Amino acid sequence: MKPKIYVDGEHGTTGLQILERLNGRQDVEVLSIPHAERHSVDARCALLNAADIAILCLPDAAAKEAAAMVEGGTTRLIDASTAHRTDPNWTFGFKELNPDHAQTLAKATRVSNPGCYPTGAIALLRPLRLAGLLAADAFVTVNAVSGYTGGGKGLIAQMEQADHPDAITTTQYLYGTGLSHKHVPEISRYGMLERKPIFAPSVARYPQGMVVQIPFHLDALAASNRSDVHAALADHYAACPGDHVIVRSLEEADAVTRLEANGFAGRDDMELFVFGNEEQINLVARLDNLGKGASGACVQTLDLMVGAEA
């Protein structure tokens, strides 16, 4: 029988994009809740427990409630919220975390999908830590810009509706200026950092796509040159199954004169660059905040769990 899939929160931004990716697939059966019943606890509980795999596209508190509804049952969960990302009882959903992590996800019963910014940051940091090039107590700064769809329907309305009472008319703005963003624990844990990184996010006036930058002086790393850093990234992702993380060559990086933050909009993969010179480097990840940074990653995990991807 086809595995039954239920997206709890299917009418939100992430949920809608997951359903778009599942539309037309013949290997799964998608369960759906009528729009009028989406706030019915009983209706949601019934569907959650009828599903083989449920994807939670909900605020943190609601995601925890949904997880409790299937406690003791057989439903496997993928949580797209922040609620369980550092919970040791949940498997982190970045399938390239380690070369064998895809196999772990395929067998997992509780998976926490990574955040969009952490996907880029962890993708750049973890291979350097595993290769011994970056110390656990290193000073790390993560600078990033995202399209506004990462803020959900509320921010989308503010950006797209000129008559919205809280309309935002600026081109780009910084936020999280108190340096206590909810993504910091996730970046620290899976980036294998003992010292909390400084995380400086911003939002720009375009819908989808993001760039994450982590600059270093080379003498802050146990690397002789930029090639050593590039090799650590390239070797790590060459050992991971699939092709959803692309490490651009140094020649490709040197040919870049400008990198548009929305250049990967609509894609479910991510590209990594090592820019720089003999003294400094800038590690850069470019992805879609709703693709590899959210809905696309959920479906990649789902594919592993239903055996649609090795």
Instruction: Give catalytic residue positions.
Output: 116
CA distance 12 to 128: 36
CA distance 204 to 211: 11
Contact 44, 70 (CB under 8 A): no
